[in-house]
Structures are given as C-alpha cells and as structure tokens.
Structure 1
Amino acid sequence: MPEAPVAPGTRLTHFRRYTWWSLFGVTAFFLAFSVQNRIMDTAVPVPVRLAAVAALGLTVTAVAMSISRRLGRVPLDSPDGPPPRRWLVAGGAGGTALGVILLALRDYELWSFGPAMTVSIIATFLPPRRRWLLITGTAVGAAVIGGVAAWASGQGSVFATAFPAGLVLVTGWGTLGMLWGWEVAEQSNAARRLSAELAVKDERLRFAADLHDIQGHHLQVIALKSELAARLVDTDPARAVAEMTEVRRLAADALRDTRAVVQGYRRVTLEEEIANATRVLAAAGIDARMELDRAAVSGRLPDPGPHLLGLVMREATTNVLRHSHARQAQVGYLITGGLARLTVANDGIPDQPDTGHGTGPGTGLRTLAERLRAAGGELTWRRDGDRFVVAAALPADMTGRRSADGRTAAATERTAR
C-alpha cells in the first residue's frame, strides 16, 4: 500500500493504514464471496469461470489502487490532484463484468455485489451531491435490471428488484462512512497544527507591532530634524549643528528602546516558557506531562539562569513541533545537589538524522550549550530509540561565579542580541 504524506504529531499513519485495510478487506471479501460458488462450480463452462477470475482480479487490483489514491486526498471533495481515472474505469469495467457474468448465470441475489462495490469507490472521488446522485441512480438501475431479468426468466421479481438496490445503498453508505471518519481525523489534525502555528505567529506579530511603534516614531522625528538641519546648514550653521546633535540623541534613544524591546522579547523566564510550552504542545495534539518542583520554578534563580533555561525550554519546544512526530512529551524541572536541572523529552523521532535536534553543526542547541558552559552549566542531548532528551543544568547559586567572572551576564546578553 503506497503511503500518503500524513502530518506528524498524531497516529494518523496508523489510522490511514487501518482505514485502507478496512475498505480493501471488506471490498475484496465481498467481491470474492459473490463469485466463489460460480468459479468453483464445475457445471459452469471453463471460459466463463476464467472470465470471472480475470474480472475479479482486475476489480480487486483497481479497488486497491483507487483507495490508496483516495486516502491521499483530503477532504472528500478536495481538488488536490486528479482522481485515478484509469483505475476507476478498470474497476468499473471489472465490476460490471462480474455482474453480467453472475446475471447470465441467473444468480439474482449476488450479481450486484461487483457493481455496488466499484460504484461506491468511484463515488468517493465525487462532490457530495454528485456522489449520492451516482449511488441513487445505480441503485435504481440495479433494481430495474434485476427485476426485469428475474421476470424474463419466469422467477419472482420482488426480491430480485429490492435486494440489488438495497445492496448498492448499503455498500455506498458503509464506504463513504469509513472515508468520512478518515477525513474528520485529518481535518482535526490540521486544525491542531494550525492552532500551534498561529500561537507562534501571534507572538511574532506582537513583537513586530512593538518594534514598529518604537522605530516608526523615532525614525519619523529623525527624518524631519535631518531635513531641517539640511535647510539650515547654509543660513544658520549653529542651529543646524544643534539639530544634528538632537538627531544623534534621538538615534541613541531609538537604539536603546529597540534593545529594550528585543531584550524584553528574548529575556524569557523559565516559568513563562514552561506555561507557553504546555499551551503550544497541547494545541499541536501532543500529550505534555509536567513534572515540576513548583517551589523551584517560582523561586529566584540567580541571573542569567532563568533566562538561559527559558531559552532551552523554548528551543526544545520548537524542536518537538518542527522536527518530530511526537505524541508525548515530558518536562521536568527541579533543584537538587546545588544544580537547577531542566529536562525535556519527547518521542516520535524520525529514523533519519535530523539536524533540528542538534545532530548537526550550528544548531540552536549547540549555541545554547556554549552559553550554558559560559555560565558554569551544561547542556546535553541524546537519542534513545525514537526518543530525544534535552537536559540542562545550571548552578543554583551563581553568585560566586559572577563575582569571579563578571562578564558572564553581559556576554550572554551580547550573544542574544
């Protein structure tokens, strides 16, 4: 069965496989069941039996390929990619051939299995209104054909009329119901992913709005005063110098305010980042379990500890969302042995190497590891099967180190900017 791309972070791959096997298994079983007696019946001419076997094989193959293509197109009426017309035509031809063969052998009970199954598969590629028009029209046609054939052979026509029509309707209902379940699951997953992305984009928009307000005001004043100084440079040089001095002051203020905005955006706290990670991971459909020492989280860790651990939490959360198929994540934080320890673990790591999880050079984790080492701490990450674990440790009391190495906090901030 060809695998269609499925969004990470959920069990949709397994659900898709379950849906495929359910649809294909039910269809193949009933198709084989409808003709098995005639294929094994020695009273039926060999050419007819061989034709039934060939039609059965063609129909089953076409159904398998059509279902595989259908599960890659969501929702049911999505225009994303053309339907497999050749396989649909082949399946329709095979199902019709099965119906004709059984009808010719006066099997008025099972002859409509082939047409009903293939029509239900074809209907899944149509918009809802046309889908039910096709199924209803096929049901009416099956009722007419079955009734006329039974009447012409001198047998009762009531059952031969009602059974084929009911079979077409029931088959269509069951097939579309299975596909509807898959569609709902996929749309729900897309909504969770979109919610997580919107949470990140909202924060970026907030930062952009703050930066625009600060920069827009200062730049507008700088532009006006620069224009005024240019006009005064010949007529009133002293005034022009004063205006340019003011421009210089405004530029320094703009730089200071911009740094303050960036610092406020980037100087995260561990408590804020843990709360944000809980919301974002939940929005992405990931079961996030927090094992936290509340006293440690709300306690006062010396600077730049909360900032650094907050950045580790943010980077680990980003990696879970972008570079894994995680279903579960665990976050642990406690202070023990004089160290503040933060651990973030998740499952769903792809088989191939993923630089987003720190396996390649120049990643966010490697950069953070250097900054934690400068602060006297340590950042490690490891892969264990399909799990990825990020562990950060910082001294709970960094007063002595800061006095011995006063450049730590300043260097950290320069690196952040």
Structure 2
Amino acid sequence: MRDEPMEHGSGLGGFRRYTWWSLTGTLVFFLVLSVGGRIPDPDVPGWARALSAVALVVLIAAIVVLLRRRLSLVPEGVQAVRPPVGWLAAGCAAAGVLGAIAPVIHGQRLWSLAPAMMVSVAATFLPPPKRRMLVAAAVVAAAVLGGVVGFVSGGAQWPSAVAEPVGLVAFTSWTTLGMLWGWDVAERLNAAGRLAAELAVKEERLRFASDLHDIQGHHLQVIALKSELAARLVEADPSRAAAEMREVQQLSTDALRDTRAVAQGYRRTTLEEEIANAAKVLASAEIRTSVDRDSGTDVRNLSETGRHLLGLVMREATTNVLRHSRAGRARIAYRVEDGRALLRVGNDGATGSASQRTGTGLPVLAERLRNAEGTLEWRNEDGWFEVVASLPTGTAGAK
C-alpha cells in the first residue's frame, strides 16, 4: 500500500498497510483453505475443478482490488465514490459460482463462505444504514438457502445446515466491517487533529489581527480628526493648524512604534522555546526525535538576537521535516564550541534534492545569519537531510 502525502507522520500509512494485509490475508487464507484445498481432489469432476479454480482466482483478485480501493478512501468519501463496478460484478459472480458448486463437491458444507466474504467486502462501500440492510438480507438469504440444502440432503441435518451459513455470514461481516471501522476511526481522528492545528493557526492570526486593529484603529481615527481640523484652520489660524499637524506627526510615530511592538511580540521566537516545541511537534507526528545538548551548554550564552535567529532556523527546519520528508527519525543537536553556537537539525526520509526541499525559507535565513557573522548550510546525503547553523555567541545587532 502506498502512503498518501496527508498521512505523513501520522502513522496512518503503517496502520493502513497492516489493515489491508491482515484483512486481505485472512480472507484469502480461509478461501484457499476451504475451497482451494478440495480442487485438486481426483474424485471431483474435472469440469468442477476447473470452474472452481477460475472462480477462486477471480474472487481473490476482486477482493484484493476492492479492499485496496476501499482503504484509499477517507470515511467521508466512502459514500461519494463508487467501487470498481467491473470488479464488484466479477467478484459476485465468482462467489456465486463457488457457492453453487460447493455442495456438489463431496457434500461440502461451507458453501456460504465465498458469498459471505463478497457480501462483507461489498458492504464496506455502503453507508452504515444500507450496510446493515445488506448484511441482514444476506443472513436471511443464507438461512433460506441453508434450509433448502439441509432439506434436500436430509431432514436430520436441517438445523446445522441453517445455522452454519448464517453464522459464517454474520462472523465474516463482523470481522471485515470491524477492521475497516477501526481504520475509519483512525482516519477521522487524524483529520480532526489536522483541523485542530489549522484552527489554532487561524485563531492566532485572528488574535494578531484583533490587536493590530485595536492599536491602528484608535491612532488612525485620531489622526483623521486632527488632520481634518488642521485643514480647516490652515487659513484662519495657521499657528494652531501647525500645532495640530505636529500632534498628527507624533500620533503617526506612536502608531508606528506600537505596530512594531505588536509585530515583534507576535513574531519573536527564541531557540530554547523552539527546540522544546519542535521535540513535542515531531513526537506527536510519531517521528522519533532525540535532543542532544551538552549539560554545560547554556542557551543564555547567546544574545537575544542570536537566540531569535537560531529559533527561526529551528522552526524552519521543523517545518521542512513535516512538509518535505517521510521522516521516521530526527535529531536536534545544540552546543557551543570555540565561541560559536552550533545548531544541527537532521532527519531521515528525505525526498528530492536539497534545493527542491528548501523553498525560500532557508535561503532567506542564510542571508540573515550572514549579516550576523553566522552561517547556515543544508545538505541531503543518502536520504538524510541536515540543516547546520552557526553564530558567534556575542551576536548582536542583526534583526
């Protein structure tokens, strides 16, 4: 099974593969064991063996294709996307053939196994109400057909002839639908997690917009009133008009200062916060993350500007891990050597070349670090992508 990009870091790719292999393997195993094991029997007529073999191959292929298709759909898309009609029809026909031939071959009593499997697979593409109706109809049909088979073969076998196919249909449907229900729940939880993250970003943007509106709204309203007053006084009382315009200038300066303060408070980041946040975010994405920091290394040895710049590097590197790789492991290392702070962030599962993964974030940060007498490099070697940033511990002045 191929991982979808949206599944990156969530563990859904592995869970999908586990669900598909275990479910498909279980169905195929019991089909081959119960039906295929009797095909080579020399006592079975040649036409029955040949027809059973062809039907078995077609049914197995249909189950594989249908389950693969089913697991490629998110739960909300199950009702909107139809299964491959050709494979569904072929699987139903093959299951019907196996069910019809089975009683003839040595009085085989598992005639309902193949139809039960096909019913359970087809039911996974239906919404829950229709799914329950299909399974209920299959149970009733199995009971009726089982009763007919039992009556024809002998009245004494009638109870077991009814109970066995009913039990097979119910058990097969319960197992198949139960495993796919687990996959649907996992996908919904993953979608809810992504939605929560998006909402958190939107809430933070709204908070920033609200703060900016409060500051700018007040200043701009006063500036507009005083500018209008100065325009009316420019001929009648020039000195007062000049005083009003000086106040407008001061208000503009205050508004610019307050805006910068809001923006700086919104965007300012520090290395220690970003390292801790990166470890949590990567761990929540099921990426095994190690943080290597010497016990004698203190982030406070850096200036505020240096901590801010390396914090931005840490944030950008974390974003690259989440967006541009299929990482299973990540490593964060920070130390101070020879008067320079050194930050390394690496991960496996790198895809594409380094230039394809960096976008504009790392080159822009590299320029900012050069202005602060630092360096920023990145490389991709054998699937391991690493970002290395270096700054002198006395960095100051670069913003």
The whole-number CA distance in structure 1 between the counterparts of 2:187 and 2:49 is 42
Q: Which amino acid aligns with 1:335?
A: V
1:330, 1:346 within 8 Å by CA — same for their partners in 2?
A: yes
Residue 394 (structure 1) aligns with: 391
The whole-number CA distance in structure 2 between the counterparts of 1:256 and 1:132 is 65
Residue 213 (structure 1) aligns with: 214
Q: Which amino acid aligns with 1:389?
A: E
Give the CA deviation at 1:111: 0.6
Give the 3 Å change call, closer, same or farther, for CA 103–2 of structure 1 in structure 2.
farther
Q: Which amino acid aligns with 1:98?
A: L
Report sequence identity in percent: 55
Matched residues, number: 398
Give the CA deviation at 1:354: 5.8
Residue 405 (structure 1) aligns with: none
- Which range is displaced more, 221-230 or 190-199? 190-199
2:82, 2:125 within 8 Å by CA — same for their partners in 1?
A: no
The whole-number CA distance in structure 2 between the counterparts of 1:280 and 1:11 is 14
1:10, 1:325 within 8 Å by CA — same for their partners in 2?
A: no
Deviation string for 1:167-218 (max 9, x for gaps)?
1111111112221232233334334444444444444333333222222221
The whole-number CA distance in structure 1 between the counterparts of 2:124 and 2:46 is 35
Residue 383 (structure 1) aligns with: 380
The whole-number CA distance in structure 1 between the counterparts of 2:209 and 2:320 is 23
The whole-number CA distance in structure 1 between the counterparts of 2:3 and 2:73 is 12
1:193, 1:284 within 8 Å by CA — same for their partners in 2?
A: no
Give the 3 Å change call, closer, same or farther, for CA 258–370 of structure 1 in structure 2.
same
1:195, 1:283 within 8 Å by CA — same for their partners in 2?
A: no
Q: Which amino acid aligns with 2:32?
A: A
Residue 342 (structure 2) aligns with: 341
Q: Which amino acid aligns with 1:383?
A: N
Question: Any residues of structure 2 matched to 1:16-415 within 5 Å, and which?
Answer: 16-75=16-75, 78-105=78-105, 107-154=107-154, 156-233=157-234, 235-293=236-294, 296-350=297-351, 352-353=352-353, 355=355, 357-358=357-358, 363-398=360-395, 409=397, 412-413=398-399
The whole-number CA distance in structure 2 between the counterparts of 1:260 and 1:41 is 85
The whole-number CA distance in structure 2 between the counterparts of 1:207 and 1:297 is 32
Q: Which amino acid aligns with 1:89?
A: A
Give the CA deviation at 1:6: 4.8
Helix, strand or coil at the partner of 1:376: coil
Give the 3 Å change call, closer, same or farther, for CA 95–3 of structure 1 in structure 2.
farther
- Which range is displaced more, 39-48 or 49-58? 39-48
Structure 1 residue runs without a partner (length 5+): 403-408
The whole-number CA distance in structure 1 between the counterparts of 2:8 and 2:258 is 40
The whole-number CA distance in structure 2 between the counterparts of 1:188 and 1:326 is 21
Tell me how large the CA RMSD over aligned residues is: 2.7
Give the CA deviation at 1:37: 4.9
The whole-number CA distance in structure 2 between the counterparts of 1:213 and 1:294 is 44
Q: Which amino acid aligns with 2:114?
A: G
2:9, 2:326 within 8 Å by CA — same for their partners in 1?
A: yes
Give the 3 Å change call, closer, same or farther, for CA 289–5 of structure 1 in structure 2.
closer
The whole-number CA distance in structure 2 between the counterparts of 1:127 and 1:153 is 38
- Which range is displaced more, 275-284 or 377-386? 275-284
Structure 2 residue runs without a partner (length 5+): none
Give the CA deviation at 1:231: 4.3
Q: TM-score, normalised by structure 1?
A: 0.85
The whole-number CA distance in structure 2 between the counterparts of 1:105 and 1:236 is 113
- Which range is displaced more, 51-60 or 80-89? 80-89
